[in-house]
Chains A and B, each alone.
Chain A
Amino acid sequence: MGVGRDVTRPLRITVDHRCCVGNAQCVNLAGGVFRHNANVQSEVFDPAGAPEAVILKAARFCPTGAIRVEDATTGQVLFP
């Protein structure tokens, strides 16, 4: 687990609370990154809490497209 963390690039992950419906796909897939707040909407508590591929899958699985993933260093948009 820890090995992957050191070599992967830092990510900036945001959840748009105007769209998030608490479908929990992201929480189920990447529970080390996303959790639900009191309103049962997703929030990021550790952007390095899962491998990048899993985070991108979680973003893709969001039924309302509420998750945006960027390379934190370059600003390159990785999803959508």
Chain B
Amino acid sequence: MSHDPEDLFAPEVIADPYRYFGHLRDTDPIHWNARSELWVITGYDDLVWLVRHPELFSSAVIHSDQRPPYPPIDPADRGLFDEVRHFRADQLVEQDRPAHPPMREAVHEYFTPVAMETWRPFVRAAVAELLEARHSALDARHSALGARRSGGGGRMDVLEAVAAPLPVRIIAEMMGVPNEDREHLRGLADKLLYINRGEPDRMRPLMEGIRGMMAYVEPKVGLRADHPRNDFISVLAAAEKDGVFTRHQVLVNTALLLFAGHETTMNLICNGTLALLRHPEQWAKLCADPVNLARLATEECLRYDPPVKSTQRIAATDVERHGKQIKKGDRIRWIMASANRDPRIFPDPDRFDVSRSPNPHVSFGSGIHYCLGASLARIEGQEVFRALAERLPDLRLDTDRFEYQPSIQFRSLKSLPVAWG
């Protein structure tokens, strides 16, 4: 344990961000990290203040920050990085006022809680299909080996069986992607995941995913503009007609919806399942009443081990907070993982409690950029945790080693083996 205490990518910090960022929250909640040259904001009140003042803290981080990427990339890929920057600068999440409100309004209607609720039956059916496919695959393997079914027991990797395919299936449906294109979309989605990775050669697969996505969506935009359907490409195409988006912004934001909803949902499902199975008394509680507890349990999963650990802003002006002088242009990283465990807001914050209420976690952020897909993510979490509790109440962890992707932003398990029966 001799690592540089300022190394945000140290294996100890990746493995347990709660200890590292919790310590910062309790000792220096607005901390200048000299190694990465950024402010680290860890307390709940400071985080909420920061994200609710977009006039002080800009979201146009990629557009404004001219420093090289961290972690570093292959020097030969610098051109690709500039291409990625050009792409990402048009994302909705990068926009400030006055550009942001009309763009957000144009897509917001598609994602309201009421609108998303109509997707619940589709989500429920997709979850059932994925879990049943897993059962029948096991049955087939058992009969091929001449093995008897041992009381319906089995094992699976939650990530591969449910958490990864579910969000892509839902987003494919929302994009109006026909069945025969689903695999192509999955392939592109997997490449887009490199946006949050740390490998030095990550720019190549990422750019392949971005180019592939733009090429796939482009011909659909014109079609949907003339013949709108109940999908979000139609929504974006209509907004282009109204002059709210350029064509490039339509393509970029269609891709954004794919990768913003992909890894985040994967992490909600994996991290939530892990938390539930590590707390057998809480899992038993959920299994006893899954219909009524799925909603609060999902909120607690979101709070306890959030899909996104942290995200960023850039100071739009000089600003002082608790005696610290933040300068215009300074990079800011705000840590939801530690704010969600702030003892001033959450009693007994390190306790996982599936009936915790109220639960004002900040896992979807706050303010004008509050996660557009929050209602959909909630429904996906609720339906997965409910289905697991109803179908596999004897579910248990099938490993004691948990490895995470070395990302500062995402809390992404590499796999989650479980067993039952």
Chain A interface (Cβ < 8 Å from any Cβ of B)? 18-19, 21-25, 28-29, 39-40, 60-65, 80
Contacts and interface: CB of A to CB of B under 8 A. Distances in A.
Q: Which of A22, A23, A24, A64: most chain B CB closer than 10 A?
A: A23
B360 A18 contact: yes
24 contacts: A18-B358, A18-B360, A21-B364, A21-B365, A21-B366, A22-B52, A22-B366, A23-B367, A24-B367, A24-B368, A28-B101, A28-B105, A29-B105, A40-B53, A40-B367, A60-B114, A61-B112, A63-B108, A63-B111, A63-B371, A63-B374, A64-B370, A64-B374, A65-B113
Given A60-B112, A60-B114, A22 B358 contact: no
Given A28-B101, A61-B112, A22 B375 contact: no
A22 B112 contact: no
Contacts of B358: 18
B109 interface: yes
Nearest to A24: B368
Contact of A63 (B52, B105, B360, B375): B375
B108 A25 contact: yes
A40 B375 contact: no
B53 A24 contact: no
Listed from nearest, the 9 A-B pairs whose CB atoms lie closest are: A40-B52, A21-B366, A23-B370, A22-B52, A21-B370, A22-B367, A28-B101, A24-B368, A65-B113
Given A21-B366, A63-B370, 5 more contacts: A18-B358, A19-B360, A21-B364, A22-B366, A28-B105
A22 to B, nearest CB: 5
Contacts of A62: 112-113
Contacts of A64: 113, 370, 374
B309 to A, nearest CB: 19
A63 B112 CA distance: 6
Interface residues of B, number: 23
A77 B112 CA distance: 19
Interface string B329-373: 000000000000000000000000000001010001111101110
Contacts of B371: 63
Nearest to B52: A40
A25 B105 CA distance: 7
A61 B108 contact: yes
B364 to A, nearest CB: 8
Interface in B351-410: 358, 360, 364-368, 370-372, 374-375
A62 to B, nearest CB: 8
A40 B372 CA distance: 19
A53 to B, nearest CB: 14
B112 to A, nearest CB: 6
Contacts of A39: 52
B397 to A, nearest CB: 33
B28 to A, nearest CB: 24
Contacts of B101: 24, 28
B318 to A, nearest CB: 20
Given A28-B101, A29-B105, A61-B112, A22 B360 contact: no
A61 B105 CA distance: 9
Contact of A61 (B109, B360, B365): B109
A21 B112 contact: no
Contacts of B104: 25
B46 to A, nearest CB: 13
B372 to A, nearest CB: 8
Interface string B202-224: 00000000000000000000000
A64 B358 CA distance: 14
Contacts of A25: 104-105, 108
